[in-house]
Amino acid sequence: MGRLVLTGIGPLTPIGMGKKQFWDAILNGFSGIRKITKLPAFSECYGGEIGDINFDEYIPDKRFRRTADISRYTMLAVKLAIDDANPDSSSLENLGIIVSLTHGALNYTQSYHRLLITEGVESVSPIFFCDSILNASAGNTSICFGVHGPVHTLIGGKTIATKAILRAAQMIRAGAIDKSIIVSADELNELSFSCYSRLGLSPLSEGAGALFLENEHTMKGVFPYCYLSGIASRSNPSDLSLAFHTTMEKSLEMANLKTSDIDLVMAEPSLSDMIGRCLNTGNIPVGSIASLTGSAFSVTTMWDIIVSALIIKYGIAPSSIISKREKLPDEIRNIMICVTEREGVASTVILSKYP
Amino acid sequence: MRERVCVTGIGMITPIKPFQGMDEFWNALCSGEDVIKKMKPPMLKHDKEWLMASIDLSDFPNPVNPEDKLQFLVEKAFTMARDDAHLQGDQTTGLSLGTVLGNVLCKEKRLMEQKTYHRGYCLEKESLSYITSHLVSKYKVNGPGITVSTACASGTDAIGVAARKILAGKADCMIAGGVDVLSDFAITGFHAFQAITEEKVRPFDKNRSGLAFGEGAAFVVLESERCAVQRKAKIYGSFLGYASRADAHHMTGPHKEGRGLAHAITQALLQANLKPDEIDYINAHGTGTVYNDLMETKAIKKALGNAAYDIPISSTKSMLGHSFGAAGVIEAICCLLSMNTGTIPPTINFQERDPACDLDYVPNVARKHRVKVALSLSAGFGGQNSALVFGEL
């Protein structure tokens, strides 16, 4: 079994769509946080929105014109990743799609209920209903791109994007599929915006991010961004710190690396102390895309992974998102992406430079 | 040699004999007990009644707040399975949960009562992955914790995902389950699709006219054979194969030739290293809708060839209704119980044979039959199709 390599990326973010826009925005420190326009009740609040996109230009199929935002974001990100990886059509035969999301199509769910309450049972919309179901974005995506392999939707908080990668990696290694698209998506919604703002979690944002993951032996005509050298996820409800430490150890062991081999950690700034303790150093550079994009839960984790792939590929560590840059080595070979949830779940992904 | 996975514990709460134990449930199911009746949905202020199989919480000795139904059912079924397996604390145990709607009931209630964001209070329970987080936290689950949502195949996929975690060495043991409860959202949505029957649920019958709703929670304990044998656990059966495939055809309708489901069956059998004539029983998805049952029949014939005509197939949804996220796990347990008791539950309300559905659907009466290998099938919105294979150890 060869390495699992990342051959395509598809960022759809408040700071840009596609790898060029996204990367340029990061290099220029462009922030996507501005006054919210999509949620009238929160027009004085700040967040990261996906701007107006001519969806039909990218997905001309009429069947998807009325799908929920989350489905559109998912399909666009997947298209970007597929175009980027440029696989031949025959290699899509044994492809899987793993979607990870935190909230789902809340806007359609809300519209559905509004109709039900105000107009009654006979007026409810089948479109709002079927697009509200949690796996709707995955279903639409498989139909849109003709993917017949396993198409799964995983639900969870910030760590779910890493669990989706873990699932895809396990399926490829088990021979169930040859390659996989892993995508994370979410949309802004009044209910969730209200709840999380009250909990102090802001600025919130929306969008999607997709990866194309395959075995190095099957890739054709592309040089990968990097390879997935280590990945682990652990749960320890009574001791998050221990779960975090264990995932770091496991992923380093899998990558055959020492803590000193890690050049950069992508994680929420609030995790810096825990990272320092686990890696036995307070000097490791730490970065996060959230300062520019806002937080879109599992999607932000996926964006951090995409940024890491770009940093490894281009060899540039953007000052806009990384602290302690002076500690960075000349060449960035290994980036660890860390994420935790307060229920005691920790996940770690290590991306490494492809030889 | 490849590690094998066994089922060492089962637990479920369904509308049939919900709190009376597994033997009572199985006897009632094999007697063809029909608990589906016309009822009003849980919260909707509307006169219309739909056919449903509901779990009456007043059957439970202690009072339960109806708003906590989902959490109550999930914890009961989870602990039943865990206790049945007599799990020990030193194993790395994970959780894989399948659900179609998650905990939307909480959010739905708020929406129904028009307590919109202006009231501005936040309920942690509204998080879609809340059930998994809650179980992980309350029962100190120390392995992987995953919420899978693949529409009506969620429960089946939760088992498949869990088994793969053990095979990949990520856990010694996984508790895999599914849950969903009756909700106005699902009932009115399927009503909009005209998928709900006005009379009996008649899977594979010529006059079938739709599904009825059900609810429940069900869990199985999956364990590496090494662990199970070491601790002398009771083994219900062995997990032999699993596959999931997409139709990539239509959001709500199945592929008319059953392409995705046939592919999933073929792949699952390949993984199990079995030939079609080695299957002794199929627990079908069998919703009772015109399109599903025809598609499923075609898929079974396409994947199994002539052997399909000799395999008894039944739809337990004819008695339990369609419990969405729980269905796949309940039906997997029915396969295991068939293997352990030598009885195949019937497809009830079967009156007239459909020339297009020409397989053996075990009509109306349970059948004594030696089941060494059983296949459980699920399909769902989004073009989801999944197949699980269990066998005697």
Give me the pLDDT at residue B119, please.
43
Judgement on whether residues A253 and A126 belong to the same structural domain of the protein? no
Judgement on whether residues A172 and A27 belong to the same structural domain of the protein? yes
User: Quick check: is A220 in a domain?
Assistant: no
Classify residue B355 by burial, with Cβ atoms within 10 Å: 0-12, 13-18, 19+: exposed
- Contact check, Cβ <8 Å, B245/A150: yes
Q: Does A109 touch chain B (CB under 8 A)?
A: yes
Judgement on whether residues A237 and A339 belong to the same structural domain of the protein? yes
Shortest distance, CA B45 to any CA of chain A (angstroms): 9
Last residue of a domain, one of A186, A215, A244: A215
CATH number at residue A161: 3.40.47.10
- Taking CA–CA distances from B2, the nearest residue in chain A reads A174
Dihedral sign, CA of A167, A168, A169, A173? Answer: positive
Partner residue opposite A135 with nearest CB, options B107, B122, B382 = B382
User: Quick check: is A273 in a domain?
Assistant: yes
Measured between beta carbons, the chain B residues lying within 8 angstroms of A155 are: 99, 102, 128-129, 147-149
- Contact check, Cβ <8 Å, A41/B157: no
Q: Categorise residue B116: left if φ over 0, alpha if ψ from -120 to 50, beta otherwise.
A: beta
Architecture of domain B5-391: 3-Layer(aba) Sandwich (3.40)
User: Quick check: is A28 in a domain?
Assistant: yes
Instruction: State the average pLDDT over residues B69-81.
Output: 93
A-B CB pairs within 8 A amount to 205
Last residue of a domain, one of A190, A215, A240: A215
- Contact check, Cβ <8 Å, B382/A341: no
Judgement on whether residues A248 and A191 belong to the same structural domain of the protein? no
In angstroms, rounded to a whole number, what is the distance separating the alpha carbons of residues B157 and B169?
18
In angstroms, rounded to a whole number, what is the distance separating the alpha carbons of residues B132 and B333?
21
| Range 54-73 of A in CB contact (< 8 A) with B | none
Judgement on whether residues A203 and A241 belong to the same structural domain of the protein? no
User: Quick check: is A140 in a domain?
Assistant: yes
Judgement on whether residues A11 and A67 belong to the same structural domain of the protein? yes
- Contact check, Cβ <8 Å, A121/B248: no
Write out residues in chain A with pLDDT < 70, as ranges.
89-91
Last residue of a domain, one of A215, A246, A264: A215
Contact partners, residue B3, CB within 8 Å, separation at least 6: B166, B167, B169, B224, B225, B226
- Per domain, the residue ranges of chain B are 5-391
- Residues of B marked active site are found at 152, 285, 322
- Give the residue numbers spanning the domain of A40: 4-215
Partner residue opposite B144 with nearest CB, options A152, A173, A235 = A235
Optimal mutation site among B47, B170, B188, interface A, most CBs of chain A within 10 A: B188
Judgement on whether residues A233 and A209 belong to the same structural domain of the protein? no
Give me the pLDDT at residue A209, please.
98
Tens of pLDDT, residues B29-71 = 999 999 999 998 776 667 788 999 999 888 777 878 877 888 8
Tens of pLDDT, residues A114-159 = 888 788 888 888 888 888 889 999 999 999 999 999 999 999 989 9
User: Quick check: is A64 in a domain?
Assistant: yes
ipTM value: 0.92
Q: Does A12 touch chain B (CB under 8 A)?
A: no
Give me the pLDDT at residue B120, please.
43
Judgement on whether residues A254 and A182 belong to the same structural domain of the protein? no
User: Quick check: is A324 in a domain?
Assistant: yes
Measured between beta carbons, the chain A residues lying within 8 angstroms of B170 are: 170
Q: Categorise residue B349: left if φ over 0, alpha if ψ from -120 to 50, beta otherwise.
A: left
Tens of pLDDT, residues B83-132 = 999 987 777 788 888 887 765 555 555 555 554 444 444 455 566 677 88
Q: Does A215 touch chain B (CB under 8 A)?
A: no
User: Quick check: is A209 in a domain?
Assistant: yes
pTM: 0.94
Judgement on whether residues A33 and A151 belong to the same structural domain of the protein? yes
Judgement on whether residues A202 and A308 belong to the same structural domain of the protein? no
Q: Does A233 touch chain B (CB under 8 A)?
A: yes
Judgement on whether residues A234 and A144 belong to the same structural domain of the protein? no
- What is the total count of domains within chain A? 2
- Taking CA–CA distances from B115, the nearest residue in chain A reads A191
User: Quick check: is A222 in a domain?
Assistant: no
DSSP states of A164-184: HHHHHHHHHHTTS-SEEEEEE
Contact partners, residue B156, CB within 8 Å, separation at least 6: B98, B242, B244, B328, B329, B331, B332, B376, B377, B378, B386, B387, B388
Shortest distance, CA B36 to any CA of chain A (angstroms): 22
Partner residue opposite A194 with nearest CB, options B120, B128, B136 = B120
Measured between beta carbons, the chain A residues lying within 8 angstroms of B165 are: 170
Tens of pLDDT, residues B186-224 = 888 898 888 999 999 999 999 999 999 999 999 999 999
Judgement on whether residues A233 and A321 belong to the same structural domain of the protein? yes
Measured between beta carbons, the chain A residues lying within 8 angstroms of B46 are: 120-121
